[in-house]
Amino acid sequence: MKNILVINGPNLNMLGLREPAIYGSRDFKALLAFIQESAQQLGLEVECFQHNHEGAIVDKIQQAYGVFDGIVINPAAYTHTSVAILDALKAVSIPTVEVHISDVDSREDFRQRSFVSLYAEKVIKGHGFDGYKEALEYLAAKK
Ligand code: CA2
């Protein structure tokens, strides 16, 4: 059974509390339940990790080396700023899918750049919670 690490970045634990027009009205607990249910359907083992600190996310990616077969990451605001997260992903060389709940392409200019996209095999934007399931499907199908 493939073992997948799902990483959520800063403020995603606040889902459902504000900006429902952009991120929907379901909360973070519902997202975690959706991810676990999707993983079960696909026959995947999944661990979910959320942190607001860049260094903690870098540490978790480093610890994934030799443990996980794939990473699904929504780096949230660090998407647009973090060379450290990009470098950590490159260092462990684990197949990675980048997910964004909202359609970042149609939002502010500062959201148009993603460092993580320079490494990710696939990027899913604007599909809401379903984007996480699509990412898991991609990793499940991968040889
Ligand atoms: O669309 C996405 O998934 C994002 O990664 C979400 C980030 C944002 O910085 C990225 O540009 C796109 C924001 C995460 C959570 O933000 C909240 C804002 C208000 C209420 C709850 C969460």
Which CATH number belongs to the domain containing residue 129 in this structure?
3.40.50.9100
Cα distances from 39 to residues 3, 6, 47, in angstroms, run 10, 11, 10
- Ligand 1 centroid to 130 CA: how many Å? 15
The stretches in the chain having pLDDT less than 50 are none
Sign of CA dihedral 12, 81, 45, 142: positive
| Atom 9 (ligand 1) nearest CA | 77
Which residue range forms the structural domain that includes residue 25? 3-141
* Sole residue written with tokens 């359907």: 41
Say what the pTM is.
Answer: 0.98
Residue type, 118: L
Q: Please say whether the beta carbons of 90 and 84 come within 8 A.
A: no
Per-residue pLDDT at 112: 97
Q: Please say whether the beta carbons of 79 and 9 come within 8 A.
A: yes
Pocket lining for ligand 1, CB < 6 angstroms: 11-12, 14-15, 17-19, 23, 74, 76-77, 79, 100-102, 104, 111
Residue 43 backbone dihedrals phi, psi, to 5 degrees: 70, 35
The per-residue pLDDT for range 65-106, each reduced to its tens digit, is 999 999 999 999 999 999 999 999 999 999 999 999 999 999
* Size of the chain in residues: 143
Q: Which helix (H) or strand (E) holds 68?
A: none
Number of domains in the chain: 1
Per-residue pLDDT at 18: 87
For strands 70-74 and 45-50, give the pairing: unpaired
Per-residue pLDDT at 32: 98
Rounded distance between C-alpha atoms, residue 53 and residue 115, angstroms = 17
Q: Which of 102, 116, 124, 125 to mutate to test the pocket of ligand 1 (most atoms within 8 A of CB)?
A: 102
